[in-house]
Structure 1
C-alpha cells in the first residue's frame, strides 16, 4: 500500500512538472518570427534529440534500438503523440486560440471515457467533478468558445484531444513499458511531417536557433518525458485533469517575461483550475491514508 501511494505521488509530481513545461509554449512562440511549421520542425528535432539522450542515460546505448523497433505499444503512443502535435498547429491557424483551449479542457472526460471502455478503469466522481470545475475555469480564462468558429479548426482540435486522450490511455495500458523512446520517436516524426510545410527553415540562425533549441528541450522534451513517465502511474482521467494546469500557467510566463498583466477573468479562471486540481489530489491522498 505504501509503495502504491509513493508511485501515485511520483506520478502526480511528474504530470505537474509536465504541465509547467508545456505552459512555456507562448513564451517561446512570442520570441520566434517564423511560420508554425518551421517552429514545429526545429522544436521536434531538438526535443527528440534530448529525449534520445535521456533514453541512453537511463537505459544504455542498447535502448536506441527502440527508436527503430518501438514495439506495438510504443509505436501506437508515438503515432498518437505525433497526430496530436501536427493537429495542434493547423487548428490554431484555422480557429481562435480560445476555442482550442476550451476543447483541450475536455480531455479529462474523453480520457475517462476511453479508459472505461478499453481498460474498465472507472474515474472517481471526485475527479469528474474536479474536471468539470477545471473545464469551467479554462472557459473563463480564455473567454469561452466563440460561436461561428471555423468548423475545420474545431474538428482538428477535437482530433488532437482524441489523440492525446488515447495516448494517455495507451500509456496506462502499457504502464510496465518505458515510453521514453516513443516520446523521442514522436518528435522526429513530427519534424518529418512538418518539413514539406516549413517555409522559413533556411532563415533560422543565431539567436533564433538557440531559442528553438530551448523550446524543444525545455517545453517539449521535458514536458513529454515527464508526462509519459507520470501518466502511467495515475488513472487516465486524473493525469489529464492535472495536465489542464497548462492553460492557467501560460499567462504567468507572459507576465514574467513581457510584464503583461493577466486580465481579471484569467486570474479567476486560473484559480478555479488550480483549485480543482489541488482538491482532487487532496481528496485522493486523504482517501488512501491508512487508518
Structure 2
C-alpha cells in the first residue's frame, strides 16, 4: 500500500472514531438524568480537566503544544464555543433529540454562507442550491416546533449551529491552530453553571454517565474530528459529522423510546439527503480538479 493510500486509510479510521464517539453525546446527557446546570457543570469540569492534563503532558513530552487561546481570534473562537455549549445543553432539554441533531447539521451551510460573506469564498451554484434546500428542511422542523411548543429549543439549536459555524470561519480566517481552544472554552459556561448549582446543589440521578461523557467522549470526538483533515479532505470529514445526525436519534429511540415527529423526520430527511449529495458532489468535483491539474502539470 502506498504512503498516500495508507495516510488516507488512517484518516478515515481516525475521523470515523470521532464521528461515532459524537453520536453518543446526547444519549449520555439524557442517561445522566439531571438538572441542565448540573449536567453542564459536570460535563464542562471533566472536559476542562482532561484537556489541561493532555496539554500539559504534550508540553512536557514534546514541547510544541499549541497555544490554548491564540490571541484575539482565539478569544473570539472561545467565546463562540462557550455560547454553543450553553445553547446546546438548553436545546437538548427543551426540544427533541431529533430536532437538535437535524438542525445542528445546518452548521455546514452556515459556515459556507459566512465564508462567502467575510472570507470572499463565493459558494458554487450547487452549494447555493443545497443551502436553499436545507433551509426548507430547517423551516419544516422549526415550523413544527412552533405548533408543538418546542420553538425555543429549536431556536437554541439554530444558535448553536450558527455559533459553531462562526467559530470555524474565524479559525479559517486567522490561520491559527485552535485545536485546544474549543475544549478550554468550556471554562466560561462551567463557571456560570457552578454559580447556578451553588444555590440548588447537584441534581443528577446518574452522574457517572456525564462524567464519562466529559472525560472521554467529548475529548476523543473533537480530537479525532480535528485530526482527520490532516489525512483526508474536508468533504470527507464533514460526512462523518453526519453520523451524529443519523445515529443519535436512533440511540435515543432505542433507549428512551422517543419517536421523532413526522415533520421532524421529513425536515431531517431533507437535511441529511441534501448534505450527503452535496458532500459526494464535492468529493467528485475535487477528484476531477486534481485529475485535470495532474494532466496539465505532469510530474
Q: 2:283 aligns with which of 275, 282, 285?
A: 285
Q: Distance in 1 between matches of 2:229 and 2:119?
A: 15
Instruction: Judge conservation of contact 1:77–1:167 (CA < 8 Å) in 2.
Output: yes
Q: 3-state SS of the aligned residue for 2:27?
A: helix
Task: Give CA-to-partner distance per residue, 1:36-91, whole Å, 9 cap, x none.
Answer: 11111110111122233443455547567934x63222222111100111123334
Q: 3-state SS of the aligned residue for 2:123?
A: coil
With the length of structure 2 as denominator, give the TM-score of the two structures: 0.71
Shift of 1:242: 5.9
- Residues 59 and 128 of structure 1: CA distance in aligned 2, closer, same or farther (over 3 Å): farther
Residues 1:87 and 2:87 are matched in the alignment: yes
Q: Distance in 2 between matches of 1:261 and 1:203?
A: 23
Aligned match of 1:194:
193
With the length of structure 1 as denominator, give the TM-score of the two structures: 0.72
**Greater gyration radius:** 2
Instruction: Judge conservation of contact 1:178–1:229 (CA < 8 Å) in 2.
Output: no
Aligned match of 2:67:
66
Shift of 1:215: 1.1
- Residues 255 and 161 of structure 1: CA distance in aligned 2, closer, same or farther (over 3 Å): closer
Aligned match of 1:34:
34
Residues 1:77 and 2:80 are matched in the alignment: no
Uncovered stretches (5+) of structure 2, i.e. residues with no partner: 293-299
Aligned match of 1:25:
25
Uncovered stretches (5+) of structure 1, i.e. residues with no partner: none
Aligned match of 2:252:
254
Task: Give CA-to-partner distance per residue, 1:113-135, whole Å, 9 cap, x none.
Answer: 21111111223333444455566
Taking the TM superposition and a 5 Å limit, the aligned residue runs for 1:152-167 are 156-167=156-167
Shift of 1:35: 0.2
Q: Distance in 1 between matches of 2:83 and 2:123?
A: 25
Cα root mean square deviation, aligned: 4.3
Instruction: Judge conservation of contact 2:39–2:210 (CA < 8 Å) in 1.
Output: yes
Q: Distance in 2 between matches of 1:129 and 1:60?
A: 49
